[in-house]
Structure 1
Amino acid sequence: MKIKQIIFPAFVFFFFVSTSIFAQTLVPGGTVSGVWTNAGSPYIVEGTITIADNDSLVIEPGVEVRFKPGSTSLRVFRGQKLIAIGTQDSMIHFTSDSANPAPGDWLHIYLNGNGYGSILKYCRVENSQNGVYCRAWVSGCQDGDNYSIIENCEFTNISNIGIWCEGDADTGSGCTIPRLGDCSPVIKGNKIFNNQKWGIYLAAWNGILANSFVGAEISNNVIFNNNSDGIRSFYDDPVFPKIFNNTIYGNGGYGIHFLNNPDTTYYTIENNIISSNNGGIYSENSTLPIIRYNDVWQNNNNDYFNFSPPQTDISVDPLFVDANSNDFSLNCLSECIDAGNPDSPYDPDGSIADIGAVWFDFSSIGCTTSNNSPICEGADLLLTADGGISYTWIGPNGFSSSDQNPVLSKVTADMAGDYSVTITTNDGCQAKFTNNVEVNPLPTAEIAGNYEFCAGSNTILSASGGTGYEWNTGDTTILITIGNAGEYSVTVTDDNGCMESATVMVESNPLPDAEISGGLSYCEGSLTMLTASGGTSFMWSTGETTASITAGNAGEYSVTVINDNGCMDSVTVMVESNPLPDAEISGELSFCEGSLTMLTASGGTSFMWNTGETTATITASSSGAYSVLVTDDNGCTNAATVMVETNPLPDAAISGTLSFCAGSNTELTAVGGTEYEWSTGENTASITASSAGDYSVTVTDVNGCTDSATEMVVSNPLPSVEISGTLTFCESSSTTLTASGGASFAWNTGEITATITVYVAGEYIVTVTDDNGCTDAESVSVTVNSLPVVTLMLPTDTFCLMESNIELMGGMPAGGTYSGPGVTNNVFEPSVAGVGTRTITYLFTDSNGCQNVDSQEITVVDCTSGISRIQDNISVLVFPNPSIGDFSVLFNGWTGRKQIQVFDARGRVVFSDSRETDRFEVSGLSSGIYFVQVSNGEYVDLKKIIVQ
């Protein structure tokens, strides 16, 4: 037995409510196309409507289509398409527009010869003569085909047939070629129930030079409580349906009835549950279809008519979860589980198919398993399971255990593989789960590199064997650089998270002590000897490798000394050669008109100028050639000559704006030279003046001659900017901000008026400019207070007309005001509101003065007719509401035995009880919305509760 998921949606009852209280769309008879949306729902069809030629009608989820009573219908012909695709939570509703809807109020949805075009999914069709009339009509000399898709829909309260599939042909007057009508829709996952005649009806008719057949695929439908046959087929052309995995239950006729068909050998009736009908499978044909792997059980008359039970069929109680509540899911002990055709093409998970429409899901019994895989060698394997009363584990190497959560210590690689557990629950159900366990090997950690280095140097260690590394130094890279001796270890982690370590010892060797001895200076044209010491080998900067070398040039001489450990040290000396003196004359070789210049000779210890002077420095006051003879300490001499010139003075001036705004500045520019010295200490041509006062500059030209200029700079004050206005307002409102203090305004919103209106929160900045062109800015932060989140959920939405003084509650947050018909001071009077649907509105104002509302529809009914819902001094109280899953039901004034049923939002009964007491306790409900119905044969009441 394998675990399966439920592949078909559970069937639930939906209460359809128009998506809008006031919106509706009137659709007169004629052609239609386009998209019907929730905004236009409900659509009131007043006549027969037909989709336009070569066009389509798309209906959105949640749309309600109401047909006026009479001959109203929706028709689709060849080349037209109806696309009505709802969702499980938002079905499309086709129904009567009558105030008192009844079966047969309107005709049907007519799909005729539209090939693969039309699709109906998650639709509810009710109160019609036929639900969907699927037809392949051979008209004229054309073939007809219909491959519509009808899935996950509901067909109920229909006066004739839920789904009618028909292949038909006309006389074919004037046609000379054979024609074919093929009606083979997909009918899957539907719920067809409580109809006055048949659930599904298949028929085929022939004509002149025309044949038709019905090859519908009918699978995973629940067909129950219809007054006649669940599925019927008949007449003179072939009907070849494939009837798989349906549940056909409690119908007033036969479960499947086929008659007058010329050849039924192409039928396939497989994996169906046919139970509690007036009859099982009835064949009026001499040739039987393929009937196999069905459960045909306890039909009122015979299970099989005119033939013997097939060998592969079974006859057992299918053990539905609750057929009386229309829950046709299989109990875990049902013999229909995994009892279908082993080769069934409708088996979605590859295992043996279940019999019936709703597959059993073993996950629903609440068993789970898990493990801590993948793990590394040497770790402990933890296997866990829950949800049962006994557990049987098996695994690699002959492992077995009856522990719920076995532990395998220090696993090895050969312990990897599949570990299976069979869990037995307290009701005898068994589920088998398989857990795959991966055991990953440990990485091989290694450290490579030089394990010795010289003092003051370092070495690089490289780790390998994984993808993540953590050294005892704190580094997490593959490579680390170390400069200290000692022990180094690394923990290596691979892609699987497994870890291993490696360690090495690193040593540090001392450096040699390098020295150079010998004469470090000589006269030009001679030599000196240099000798290195401190090691065993030598490398000079000259390329020589001997301990001693001869230096014949001035400059640096360096040597690298290497000891026995290969460690190195270097030393450098400067060797000087005494050259001839380098005679030079320094000083300004030009001077400004009316000034002097100083000339200084260098390069020796004594000097002789052509002016006759013998000092190092002389004063030149005229242009011309000046020369000097220099002698050094060694008695060497050399001469130098320069030419001196006289230059004119520059013309200094200051340009620029001589006023600026306070807090700003102005730029002043000096002209007339190439260098500038301002009174501010700056030496650029242009400066920025940020304060008022005198500014002067000394200008120097390319010749070093100077001139000066001075200007007065004035500072204007900034405008005084203010923003006034209310800085907070409620969402969907606005506020006004006004700026002052200048002549023009520029907001960060782009507006240039003094006053602006703002609608959103944020920072608002205005820049104000005065008559002097000076600007200043101011900003304010505007806050938008959100509207309070208001919800209204009254404890009940139905009230009796005679009830009075009902204090309203359910509005959140508390402290608001209720209003609506019959509401005064938060108290509701049904008699004032009157019978019918009314709207209660809840208004709440928060501490910021912001308001919001929510509304809820309630219904006032006259409970005095039929079984009384409530009378004076007779009531039922459900509390607390909302609750956290536990609540009490208290009857006041009720007599006799009380019946209580609790429905979830999908219409399923989650609690039911009957007793004489006046108080019931209900507990253990999960969060959601529920409806509590109470009755005693004399009174009935319905309450809505909320579990948080």
Structure 2
Amino acid sequence: MKPVVLLALVSVLMFNLVIASYGKILSESDLPQLEPQLWRLINSLNTKSLLASRLAKSNRIEAVVASKGRLIVFDPNSIALDLFSETEVGVTIEFLFVPLNKQGVLSLLFLWEGPFPKLVDRSYWFWGTEMGGEISEDTIWALDGSPYYVTSDVSVQSDVTLTVEPGVEVRFKKFSDFSGVKVGLSVYGNLVAEGTEASPIVFTTSCDFEDLDQMQGEWIDPFTEDFFPTDWKGVRIDGDSGILSYCVVEYAETNIRAEGESVTLQVYNSSLRGSKDGIAFVSGLGSATIMNNTIERYGHIAVVLNGGTATISGNTITIRRGQAGIQTHGQGGMLTEVTGNIISSIPGFITYWGMHCYESSPTISGNDIIGPFGQGIVVTDGSAPTITGNTITNCSDGIWSVYYGVVVGDGSAPTVTGPTITGNTITNCGNGVWNGIGGLPLTINYNNIFGNDDWGVYNEGCSITIDAENNWWGDVSGPYHPTENPDGLGDAVSDCVDFEPWLTEPVEP
């Protein structure tokens, strides 16, 4: 593609161009004073090739980039003088991808921190609708006004509904922009954000990391999958209800948080990624429905539930270097169902648990939990879940920790069974089921427990006897026990495990 002359581009877009500098929104009449900052364009291919080798040596690079474009801008004071003079800077614009309507953000400056004495002016150019402050009456964020650029906290007041139309992009001021204070969307009334498969709604940072990654090509990848920007606070529902369907929510501290005694949260068919926490639900009597979403690349917990009634179903959850895929905490007798999810961890990074039940008793059924995890399912602190029909694999001993398929801690009493539905399959783990010291009686029936390195079932302390009858242990001879079944070729069991009778063939899925 041939590069486009920037001066011509500015004149074409003047009617809907907004220029911002240090947090102040400037009018178009202020444009002439910025002329000294207009850049000279250099051949696209050469610019990428020359700059990439230099960029790879820097410590940090941040940018606001066109959401539907491919744009690279460099400050002359942060480029080695052997590549450019003090008054020149390279810009790459591929004409086909330059956003020529209101569906994208055109941004023309980098913030660069490296071994150079001067930072770039933290200004940016964009067009769209600036948002901030209170919303005190029912409001629609229409596609015609997109993108909405949030430069200060947006607060939807009680008994007020904010509706976001399909295809709208909402971009939140990057943490390092202007004041250094993170912004977010707080809803004390109602949020309705229902996109479509063809026109999803996007809530994101002002810095488009993936587009930047694609622009840099193979020369440099400053934003790897191990990078969690957490540039903005996220979408927070503190009022009556929030519904998000066919949405993309990314790069916030917590992408979606709902908190309130009777709050209702519904998240369907959406993509959440690249944050510390994905969805946090904290409620006494409220309800959450989280279904058919893709939730990935989290540095802490993908979905955490604390109280209320919840259904988590049909989601694909991928964790990288975090604590847990799903954590249920203190449901207090309320019904929580975790069914039909795929929970996996990216190899090479330690993630502690696929699921963690803490002071809670959810029904966990039909999930695929695919390591490497520290533990596939952890049950602690008085929890009594029903664990049915799950497949738990590759929770094997690793470099950093000891791994188990299902861990039962002190004072917990789960039921692991599959009498009427498909039993659990626990395989390729260091230990299949581990019952800790002080653990309450377990019922482990009609499961496939095989191919685990150390123990199929281990009962630490022997304060009680575990009911582990009618399981398939990987061989018709049954589980191995040095005195009770020394000829068993299946997974080993410890003392205080009642494993007879055993199944002579696997439980059918």
Structure (1 or 2) with the greater strand fraction: 1
TM-score in terms of structure 2 length: 0.49
Structure (1 or 2) with the greater helix fraction: 2
Largest Rg, 1 or 2 = 1
